[in-house]
Structure 1
Amino acid sequence: MTETLGRLTYPEITGQPEALAAALQQCAVQSDWIDRYLASSDYDEIIFIGSGSSYYQSMTMAATARLWLNRPATALPSSEIYLFRRQNAVEGRRYLLVGVSRSGESTEVLLALESVKDLAGWTRCGITCHEDSSMARMVPCLVSPLGKERSTVMTKSFSSMTYMMQAAIAKAAALADMEQELAATAKASRDNVERADRFAQRLAGQGPFSRYLFLGMGAYYGLSQEAMLKVKEMAVVWSESFGTLEFRHGPKSVVEPGALVCVLVSESARSYELKVAEEMKQYGATVVLLTAREGADTAFADAVFVTGCPDSTDEARAVLNLPPLQYLGYYTALSKGIDPDSPRNLTQVVKI
């Protein structure tokens, strides 16, 4: 029975190296899009919008844009623009609204883009995996060539779209060093995915855990949210996500023996984040660290996954955190006899 489960999801997680390489090449093909939108000084602020996983990857896109482009950038759920635009966008400012949608068919992102079509000060564009989608016909889009998926949950589409937007941002900002770091990320992806497969299979074998908690900060906060969603979608287990230091302000009360606490460790705030992880270990949690480098300061953890590219910035290697988290959801689902290809109550495209 288990041999028939996850037939779509597994190869899509495994196919990330090729998807990243294709996304990087596509940025050169679509350099005009990058110049027209991300490199333009015509906007006061960039707003990335998406729903579900697309919203979570928008968080990492926005964090990268703020740092590398040195300009205001925000991530919002699509519905916040469609239904609560005035509460989220100040009149008189010039906005670049970037729709983020794997399928390009999500009702909420289409409604949000349509809602500002005739408003002064709003320019629209998007990023998707389907060049013939409704969104791609509505606005000019970056397209991840190998991001298309048959499974319901987002895996390689999330990685490739996030990575592609980061590569576009680096090119728009003329940051040659960041472009080199992103190229290194793509090269490291194959080894990363292979190791992540083995790592997550072992980790899932130690479960099931009473609760799954994912912590991240900066550009990794959106990734921790995505990790929470992947385990919840695929394995139908209760999971939560918090900012790493914010977790200490109340939410840590749920930590106990049997809980899994996974920390996406940045180099920017490494010492602070590891202190939080050590505290959760003292409370009896199984502590997992995703980090660019292993050392004496990580020896306390129950499991450590080294993402690779330790000399790169947190943002440039961000997507290397995703494979072990995606595989964790996959193998946890299999251990419960659940098909990760067909999550309960979910469809690939959400329409209203």
Structure 2
Amino acid sequence: MCGIVGAIAERNVTGILVEGLKRLEYRGYDSSGIAVLDSGAIHRVRRVGRVAAMEEAALAENTNGQLGIGHTRWATHGGVTEPNAHPHVSGELIAVVHNGIIENHDHKRDELKGQGYAFTSQTDTEVIAHLVHRHYVQDQDLFAAVQRAVKELEGAYAIAVIARDNPDLLVVARMGCPLLIGVGEGENFVASDVSAVLSSTRRVMYLEEGDVARITRESVQVFDGTGAAVERKLHLSDVSLASLELGPYSHFMQKEIHEQPRALSDTIEQILAQGFGASLFDGDASILQGVKSVQIIACGTSFYAGSVARYWVESLTGLPCAVEIASEYRYREAVASPDNLIVTISQSGETLDTMEALKYAKSLGQNRTLSICNVRESALPRFSAAVFYTKAGAEIGVASTKAFTTQLVALFALTVTLAKLNGRLTPEAEAGYLDALRHLPGSVQHALNLEPQIKAWSDRFAAKDHALFLGRGVHYPIAMEGALKLKEITYIHAEAYPAGELKHGPLALVDENMPVVVIAPNDALLEKVKSNMQEVRARGGEIFVFADLDSHFHDSEGVHVIRTPRHVGILSPIVHAVPVQLLAYHTALSRGTDVDKPRNLAKSVTVE
């Protein structure tokens, strides 16, 4: 969960590195640093805090060089201190930046100490710097030194390495963490994410597992884990720089919440054009034929999207559906079936736990694998038999919003496709679902128009330390997502429960200091939800209700109601996700927290 950028050019790369790190700051913002080759020496600038502090220091020191690497950190090994910030150096000869976790770093640290190496940080990364140094001093071949060093590493890594005595060479390697090469004219770049290189080039090459690459100003050579030269496909990125700018918005989270009607329209467009069916999926969609069960694997917000889909899958297809957190699935004895469809969900396509869970599922002989992802050519789609690409566009805010709602559209498309392939979808039902999708962006826009009313609630929540979210049926996962959003960016402790579970324990927490948010659509469970609300009011709890326009709720003492659009049927969870996003956003503003970069969190989770 860190960001890497590197550049080799005929111009000063300091500005390129700093700009790239600003683009990658969503991946980590505990500290940042750069190292450039300047006048035959490695010039390193590091600072705790945001990239802006490091940029100011680099400008003050007049940092200048044509070869350099940079890093923005989310702390794993060692605290948030300047000595722990990247880049790490060895003998003033080697500089390294690293994303990932080296699992055998303790053993290697002891070994290197025994050979006379001194450590100045608590990080696992410093081990890499010393390993490369140890091999480099033997024959002065940086590329070979990196190749030999990575063979000693256990764990996940993306690294970029420079040497004081090699002003014309940048070496990179990856295993388990994303890394790409940006190809320019007489200059080349490396980064964790395409956003970091877009200002210089749109041509990118994605490295595969085990790859090590030697990069000069004029060439890129890639070698796989066996040492054999390989060709990696060159892609023209379709990500626009405009999508990475705030525009008229105050925060990326606010921007991305308001981009949802467009993101949904773009994702739905392909479904409306083709109808439901295998043609919606890239890759080998034949895996959808003969599916007997569905296993959804994801983390965080994506897990909640999968939890909504479980209700859809079982009700529309008649197939059993299980949803599991990736970090749990990958470490248990799973019951495998060749007829089980493994569905993995990740906005970035690089979530390490989800990727490892997919590898585990495939190792059990489950090769019906489908990923839902927002980033083309990322690791998860490449390792899956089929993929549905959402069209949310770049998502920068740590708290996922438009990625979540577009994932729900993708899961709905998968559900209806499976129902169609299993002979459980009539033409009339298919037409009805397509019509519901067609009207969905308008309903979401209606929900966005409620922002002033939701903002008025935020001051009440900002003064609280705890909150409870309730939902029933397919809306229970939306309550979980609402609680997650609130705790992520406001630091208010929030939990979600199925409303019917209140009397089995959580009701003991309810008092006048515990606001209770209720998702109350006008569906078959509405009367049950109303009964659960009475249980809360009887204990003095204050209730905040998101109800459909036709639910016949009214404000009363201790009960506050905001009416979302009229009930939109099976797609209602997507519409109800929007108000809880807005509630979290405005409560965070009221509390003065950092909305886009909440403490202790980062966007792309590429470590365990």
Shift of 1:280: 0.8
Q: Partners of 1:340 and 1:320 in 2: how far apart?
A: 22
Q: Partners of 2:549 and 2:309 in 1: how far apart?
A: 24
The reply to whether residue 231 of structure 1 matches residue 486 of structure 2 is: yes
Of 310, 315, 318, 1:62 maps to 310
TM-score w.r.t. structure 2 length? 0.53
Q: Partners of 1:9 and 1:337 in 2: how far apart?
A: 14
Shift of 1:339: 1.2
Q: Does the aligned pair in 1 maintain the 2:293–2:320 contact within 8 Å?
A: yes
The reply to whether residue 307 of structure 1 matches residue 564 of structure 2 is: yes
Structure 1 residues 305 and 7, CA gap change in structure 2 (3 angstroms):
same
Q: What does residue 391 of structure 2 align with?
A: 145
Shift of 1:297: 4.9
Q: Partners of 2:552 and 2:290 in 1: how far apart?
A: 48
Of 47, 60, 81, 2:295 maps to 47
Q: Partners of 1:112 and 1:254 in 2: how far apart?
A: 36
| Deviation by residue 1:293-345 (Cα, 9 ceiling, x = unmatched) | 355554446222222242x32x3221111111011111111111111101110
Q: Which residues of 2 match residues 1-352 of structure 1 at below 5 A?
A: 7-27=251-271, 28=273, 31-33=278-280, 40-86=288-334, 89=335, 91-92=336-337, 94-139=339-384, 140-173=386-419, 174=425, 175-176=429-430, 177-195=432-450, 197-207=451-461, 208-266=463-521, 267-300=523-556, 302-310=559-567, 312-313=568-569, 315-350=570-605, 351-352=607-608
SS at match of 2:362: coil
Q: Partners of 2:337 and 2:534 in 1: how far apart?
A: 47
Q: Partners of 1:37 and 1:253 in 2: how far apart?
A: 49
Q: Does the aligned pair in 2 maintain the 1:309–1:317 contact within 8 Å?
A: no
Shift of 1:83: 0.9
Q: Partners of 1:190 and 1:42 in 2: how far apart?
A: 38
Please say which of residues 278-287 and 221-230 is displaced more in the overlay.
278-287
Structure 1 residues 234 and 151, CA gap change in structure 2 (3 angstroms):
same
Q: Partners of 2:551 and 2:325 in 1: how far apart?
A: 38
- The answer for unaligned runs of 5 or more in structure 2 is 1-247, 420-424
Q: Partners of 1:342 and 1:118 in 2: how far apart?
A: 36
The Cα RMSD (Å) is 2.3
Q: Partners of 1:38 and 1:260 in 2: how far apart?
A: 48
Q: Tell me the number of residue pairs that the alignment of Structure 1 and Structure 2 aligns.
A: 343
Which structure's residues are more often helix, by fraction? Answer: 1
Q: What does residue 163 of structure 2 align with?
A: none
Which structure's residues are more often strand, by fraction? Answer: 2
Please say which of residues 295-304 and 233-242 is displaced more in the overlay.
295-304
Shift of 1:149: 0.2
Shift of 1:147: 4.4
SS at match of 2:370: strand
Give the letter for the 2:538 counterpart. Answer: Q
Structure 1 residues 37 and 81, CA gap change in structure 2 (3 angstroms):
farther
Structure with larger RCO (C-alpha < 8 A, sep 6+):
1
Shift of 1:215: 0.8
SS at match of 1:259: coil
| Deviation by residue 1:240-278 (Cα, 9 ceiling, x = unmatched) | 111110122111110000221111124121101111112
Q: Partners of 2:497 and 2:349 in 1: how far apart?
A: 28
Q: Does the aligned pair in 2 maintain the 1:294–1:304 contact within 8 Å?
A: no
Q: What does residue 180 of structure 2 align with?
A: none
Q: Does the aligned pair in 1 maintain the 2:464–2:492 contact within 8 Å?
A: no
Shift of 1:120: 2.9
